[in-house]
Structure 1
Amino acid sequence: MIRQSRAAGAAGLALLLAGCAGAAIPRATPPAASAGVPPITAPRVTQNNALIGHDADAAIGAFGRPRLDVTEGAGRKLQFAGGPCVLDVYYYAPRQGAKPLATHVDARTPDGRDANIDSCIAALRR
């Protein structure tokens, strides 16, 4: 009877220790849910000219067919060129799903020197 009592005690102790050992093994936790791709936001507008805040159709209506029409990521660039200057207009949507609007304009002479944006806009108008 003493043997059975010791065997039962040993079995109980083994079960008790097995329960403690199970908690010491780290369990895999699923990775936190990803927030996904951050929303696309337009660059902050820092210029003020006749093209800023208008869509591409307004520039095409004013200058005709662009020499270049390039889309990269969320942005679009239209390039218009004439005798006195080259004009690059950059478009970004103010919020996701909205129509892209002009947020930045660059002007330069055909040889690459900076040009006055307003003068270039006036020179390229049809």
Structure 2
Amino acid sequence: MTFSIRRRSAVLGLALLAAGCTAVPKAGGGGGDVGQPAPPTFSTAGLENVMGKTAHILEAQFGEPDLDIREGAARKLQFASQVCVLDAYLYPPERGEEPVVRYVDARLPDGRDVDRASCAAALTRRQEAR
């Protein structure tokens, strides 16, 4: 079966259109500068004591972090217990300002996902018990 000229033109046009949809890296990227993450796509309900807070506030709530990683202006604090593990990602709102939590992830010690707000509440109770 042969394609008609119109059909070939349509297929070629669609292929060219699809080729134009590829991502192009930004000039000067990859230099180790960590940019701002996109706004959270998850519910922040129950995370009011975490989202937008500084490292000092988190440490007052949860105690000393089990892990503290810095990359450029970004920072990851990890708080762990027998109940769950909470990762808080901090980024400066503006250059030179103190980083605040912009993203939170939580999991059970075995790696399965767990509700972020429940984990933060469990870690707060852990700190209160000390």
Same fold (TM over 0.5): yes
Q: Say what the alpha-carbon RMSD is for the aligned residues.
A: 1.9
Structure 2 residue aligned with 1:97: 96
Identity percentage of aligned residues: 45
> Is 1:45 matched up with 2:39?
yes
Tell me whether 1:106 sits opposite 2:100 in the alignment.
no
Counterpart-to-counterpart distance in 1, 2:63 and 2:34: 29
1:72 match: 71
For residues 62-96 of structure 1, the C-alpha deviation after alignment (integer angstroms, 9 at most, x for no partner) is 00000000001221000000111000000000111
2:62 counterpart residue number:
63
Q: Structure 1 pair 76/40, CA: closer, same or farther in 2 (3 Å)?
A: closer
8 Å Cα contact 2:34-2:72 kept in structure 1? no
- Give the aligned length: 90
Q: Taking structure 1 as the reference length, what is the TM-score of the superposition? A: 0.65
- Structure 2: segments with no counterpart, 5+ residues: 1-30
Q: Which whole-Å CA distance do the structure 1 matches of 2:81 and 2:120 have between them? A: 10
- Unpaired runs of 5+ residues, structure 1, are 1-36
Highest Rg: 1 or 2? Answer: 1
1:52 and 1:124 map into 2 onto residues whose CA distance is 15
